[in-house]
Amino acid sequence: MESDTQLVARTQSGDQQAFAELIRRHRDQMFRLAVSILGREFIPEAEDVAQEVFLKVHDAITSFRGESEFSSWIYRITFNQAMNIKARVRFRKPHLNERALSGADTGDSGPERQVEIAQRDQALAECIGTLPDVYQSALRLYYWLGTGVAEIALLLDIPENTAKSYLHRARQLLRSMLKERGYSL
């Protein structure tokens, strides 16, 4: 199995199969990173981010000098592209999938309890939205997407201990923000 460095060299020589292999290796992590920045409710936009990154990488790969790992380079491009999209999508309503719509009325609890749960979830979403972007990404990667700390560190291009620190600080901030709103964890 060829390394990313070997595939990059082949791609820079015009080998499109090598480029396709690079994308195949990194597309899932790119998408997960985009979702972690934009939020689960913006999956179509995260798909757009991944496509834009593929195009940008394809156009710029000849200028990639290998001063960093290819994965760090492509994840940084993904992070920047997702942040640009995030600035535009935050004023649009999120997309709802069929599971969200079908789960709206579960019947498992009374209407009062459903309202309480909806209000708590809304407060949590609002609090997460006020966190610094790197904290939001770390939380979403860890809790929503089930990503381990080592992979979070790779995706965010930070040391593993920094990823742990981001998660810890994000949880502390969320706990205090929710406590201010009258919710306990």
Q: Is residue 185 part of a domain?
A: no
The pLDDT score that the predictor gives to residue 102 is 42
How many other CB atoms are there within 10 angstroms of residue 40's CB atom?
A: 15
| pLDDT surpasses 70 at 103 | no
User: For the chain, what is the mean pLDDT?
Assistant: 85
Q: What is the b/e burial string over 92-121, where b = at least 16 CB atoms within 10 angstroms of the residue's CB? A: eebeeeeeeeeeeeeeeeeeeeeeeeeeee
In single-letter form, the type of residue at position 40 comes to R
CATH code for position 170 = 1.10.10.10
Q: Cα–Cα distance between 73 and 64 in angstroms, integer? A: 9
User: From CA 116, how far away is CA 110, in angstroms rounded?
Assistant: 10
**pLDDT of res. 91:** 53
Do 36 and 76 lie in one domain? The reply is yes
Q: Is residue 160 part of a domain?
A: yes
Per-residue confidence (pLDDT) for residue 89, from 0 to 100: 65
Do 142 and 76 lie in one domain? The reply is: no
Q: Report pLDDT digits (tens) over 10-28.
A: 999 999 999 999 999 999 9
- 95 in a structural domain: no
What pLDDT was estimated at residue 58? 94
Position 157 scores a pLDDT of 85
Using the 3D structure, point to which of 62, 89, 116 is the last residue of a domain: 89
Look at residue 154 and tell me if it is in a domain: yes
pTM here?
0.66
CATH of the domain at 65: 1.10.1740.10
Helix, strand, coil shares of the chain, percent, nearest 5, are 75, 0, 25
Decide which of 61, 89, 117 is a domain's last residue: 89
- Match 């004023």 to its residue by tokens: 91
The parent domain of residue 110 ranges over 105-180
Q: Which strand (E) or helix (H) includes residue 148?
A: none
Into how many domains does the chain fold? 2
Helix (H, G, I), strand (E, B) or coil at 146: coil
Point out the least confidently predicted range of 93-97, 111-115, 126-130. Answer: 93-97
Distance from C-alpha of 176 to C-alpha of 114, rounded to nearest angstrom: 24
Structure tokens at 179: 């406590």
The C-alpha atoms of residue 71 and residue 68 are separated, in whole angstroms, by 8
**For residue 171, which amino acid is it?**
R
pLDDT confidence bin for 90, thresholds 50/70/90:
low
Q: Residue 153 falls within a domain, yes or no? A: yes
98 domain-assigned: no
Q: Is residue 152 domain-shared with residue 77, that is, in the same domain?
A: no
Q: Is position 15 within any domain?
A: yes
